[in-house]
Amino acid sequence: MKTLKITVEGGFHNADEMTVYAKVRTARDGSSYACLSPYQAHKVEAHFCGISDCQCGGASRGTWASPAGWVQDTMERWVQR
């Protein structure tokens, strides 16, 4: 199974770089997309801010880097362009 390497860093608490690998899938129309699993999304959020009542925005304020040809659609989904 193909994976997409995604790197994220920074954010409000200036977190260190973290790399996750999202599974690449094919939609019914033949286009490719990649999604983080719920577990991966939780791990990214915990990496950026593990404080339960913090209002920093967590991973959404981080800098997300994805390979050329891929565009971030939502915080947990990328589409191939």
Question: What was the pLDDT predicted at 58?
Answer: 64
Question: Which amino acid type is present at position 5?
Answer: K
What is the pTM for the complete model shown?
Answer: 0.74
Residue whose C-alpha is closest to residue 23's, from 36, 40, 8: 36
Distance CA 39, CA 1 (A): 18
Question: What was the pLDDT predicted at 3?
Answer: 92
Q: Sign (positive/negative) of CA torsion 75, 23, 39, 7?
A: negative
Question: What was the pLDDT predicted at 39?
Answer: 92
pLDDT values of the chain reduced to their tens digit, one per residue, 81 residues: 699 998 888 766 677 888 999 999 999 998 999 998 989 988 888 777 767 777 776 666 677 777 888 988 887 888 887
Q: Sign (positive/negative) of CA torsion 12, 16, 21, 26?
A: positive
81 and 69 in contact (C-beta within 8 Å)? yes
